[in-house]
Amino acid sequence: MILSTTIQFPNLHINIEHLPKSFSVFGFDIAFYGCIIALGMLAGIAIVCYEAKRTGQDYNQYIDFALYAIVFSVIGARAYYVIFRWSYYSAHPTEIINIREGGLAIYGGVIVAILTCFIYTKIKKMSFPKVCDTAILGLILGQIIGRWGNFFNREAFGGVARDKNPWAMRIYFDENYDISQVPDVVKNGMEALRGKALSEIGYIQVQPTFLYESLWNLFVLVLMLIFRRKKKFDGEVILWYLIGYGIGRAVIEGMRTDQLIMPVTGWPVSQTLSIVVATVAVIVVIVKRRKIAKAE
């Protein structure tokens, strides 16, 4: 699907007429998606270094850790996405390493980041739970910023938004758009909403789920910053993240039209994983706090 550079939030009176997906430097195209992801990484490292200094840790060790975690997490995020879209990538193997158009699944990055953290802390003889509590602030801040890469790519949106929805986002087509690339649920929903063919409408009006997730993660980060001094044990902050992010992602994922689907079951991968992870994290927090309360 070829989209124009026009995006509107009609109920917010926001109209962006010239929003390209990339810019050119010396004839080389640089995707805004990559720039946003890089900005999120730098912001994440900054807040982690701040938290490390605040808690009396050596922030240089976290900078070293970030160099490994970022590289491996991007690989993990891409691998996760490719695995659950294998029907496409098996037929287009050269596209596997092309992330300029998106295609990073955050859960793949989180899983690999935690694994990298475990190995790094074992080698450096650091406390794995404590490092997780510190580093997770950088991860969620990176997610908050990184989601806006989806905005520039016109991806990670949900189903059709009603006209009264204050967050309704319109993405306009280029004159050469390919309607067949529009998800059926969006195509059918738009035609039902407007009472005419999508080719006559000229745009899709959808739920900006990337925005929902970014705002939800900001809310979770604020709570983590406020209550991190009240944690009862090392490792509790990352459990709060898994609970908060898991709940939000489970809800928001249900709105999206580009879900990764588990084979056989047909369940949305990220939604299922979010529910499981959040549930397990809640149980762990309750059990750990009860043990601490009894010991006191």
Interior angle at CA 97, CA 137 and CA 210, nearest 5? 45
Which residues make beta-bridge pairs with 206? Answer: 160, 169
CA atoms of 117 and 62, how far apart (whole Å): 10
Which residues make beta-bridge pairs with 256? Answer: 158
- To the question of whether residue 154 is assigned a binding role by annotation, the answer is no
CA atoms of 52 and 62, how far apart (whole Å): 8
Q: Exposed, middle or buried by CB within 10 Å (0-12, 13-18, 19+), for 25?
A: exposed
DSSP 181: G
Give strand ranges (E) for the chain.
Answer: 3-9, 14-16, 22-25, 28-31, 169-173, 203-206
CA atoms of 133 and 108, how far apart (whole Å): 19
CA atoms of 92 and 244, how far apart (whole Å): 36
Tell how strand 203-206 and strand 169-173 pair up: antiparallel
Q: List, in order, residues 6 or more apart from 47 with CB less than 8 Å away.
A: 137, 138, 141
Is the Cβ–Cβ distance between 211 and 260 less than 8 Å?
A: no
- Per the annotation, binding residues are 147
